[in-house]
Amino acid sequence: MFCSRCGTGIPPSTQFCPSCGLDLRTTLPIDSVDPSALSELDVIREALASDYELREELGRGGMAIVFRALDLHLQREVALKVLPFSLAFDSEFVERFSREAKTSGSLEHPHIIPVYRVGRTGRVIFFVMKLLRGGALSKVLEERRRLEPGEIRKLLSDVGSALGYAHARGIVHRDIKPDNIMFDEFGQCVVTDFGIAKAGTNSRLTGTGMSIGTPHYMSPEQARAQAIDGRSDLYSLGIVAYQALVGELPYDGEDSFSIGYKHIMEPIPVPLLDTMDERRLFQIIRKLMMKDPVDRYQDADALLRDLEGQPRDGIAQQRRVTAEQAIIARQSTTPIPAQSIPLEPPPAAPPVKTPLPRPSVATTPRRSVMRRSVVAAEPERGKWVPWAFALI
């Protein structure tokens, strides 16, 4: 006998379907099932029909299926994420899926995906999110391979701001990578997929002996399955920025073991960069990628301060002045002539004999980056022996 709703086989004397929860006392089971008539999609569509109209499958992976759907009550399009039926009875995956929804739902930040609803209808476990129409960073890098320095600074600023907000609330994302950085219709970066995020510094979700994360973007301490904190997320963000600047990953290998070894043991690759702006930006990326967490930015706020304080090239400076002029002009009741804010920097003042002022705080991190990068290039081999056990 089979459930008439989801097609699950039913043992004799069963009162409720073990898959979808259908009350079998009021609905008779059926003798056979047509496999083509009761696909997973059909069950999801029927279970959510009163609230959502499924319009398109946006993506499917081992952990979830994501649909573009119409909220029938609010008449707006949303992203609807569903746990695959094959995982619905695995308590570990159900916990991870629920954690993603609850964590994202608890974080209200413009660069973190908002969650609108969490629910379960029979066999269908789902949550509803904002629909991001700009696609994932991974797709952009696949098409363009590299980003401009200004775009990378914007990426670091948006994602760094989101991570700083989450870290201040004790939440470490643990899987920052291009697939989990998306864009809305206005080009703003949005951090998604908090499925393996966890409060505190415990580096694992379970006791299975697996280090959770994506090998190409794992921090050295994450690859070794050590306790981690927000600085691990900053390392992963540095790998993403390196890939966007150079056009390739800093560490690659045939399997997770060889990639993990390189994260732990090999020095940071120094790429050939064409412009001074790219070389300045690389100093920030290098500091994010330092092997020892002590040598990285200690929090996202330090990263944001360095991004704000680092000089840009002349074109970027000119664009910033032009934007400031436009803002001031809109706020003023009297039109401001173009000459009031020069587009070219004023001529340098004549030299004076008074002592030079002390360096500003904004310039200090760049000098310390250069000193620390030398240390990171020669890690102590003996410290990293246990790395091979992290990715079992």
The catalytic residues are 175
Which neighbouring-strand residues pair with 9?
Answer: 2
Burial status of residue 255 (CB atoms within 10 A of its CB: 0-12, 13-18, 19 or more): exposed
Which neighbouring-strand residues pair with 115?
Answer: 129
Residue 15 in tokens: 């009162």
DSSP assignment of 369-385 equals HHHHHHHHTS--GGGGG
CA distance 152 to 316: 13
Residue 5 in tokens: 């709703």
CA distance 243 to 60: 25
Name the CA radius of gyration of the chain, rounded: 26
Of 134, 129, 133, the residue nearest 78 (C-alpha): 129
Contact 159, 189 (CB under 8 A): yes
CA distance 381 to 391: 19
Pairing label, strands 124-130, 76-82: antiparallel
Sequence-separated (6 or more) residues with CB below 8 Å from residue 283 = 366, 369, 370, 373
CA distance 116 to 79: 10
Phi, psi of 294 (to 5 degrees): -65, -30
Other C-beta atoms closer than 10 Å to the C-beta of 138 total 16
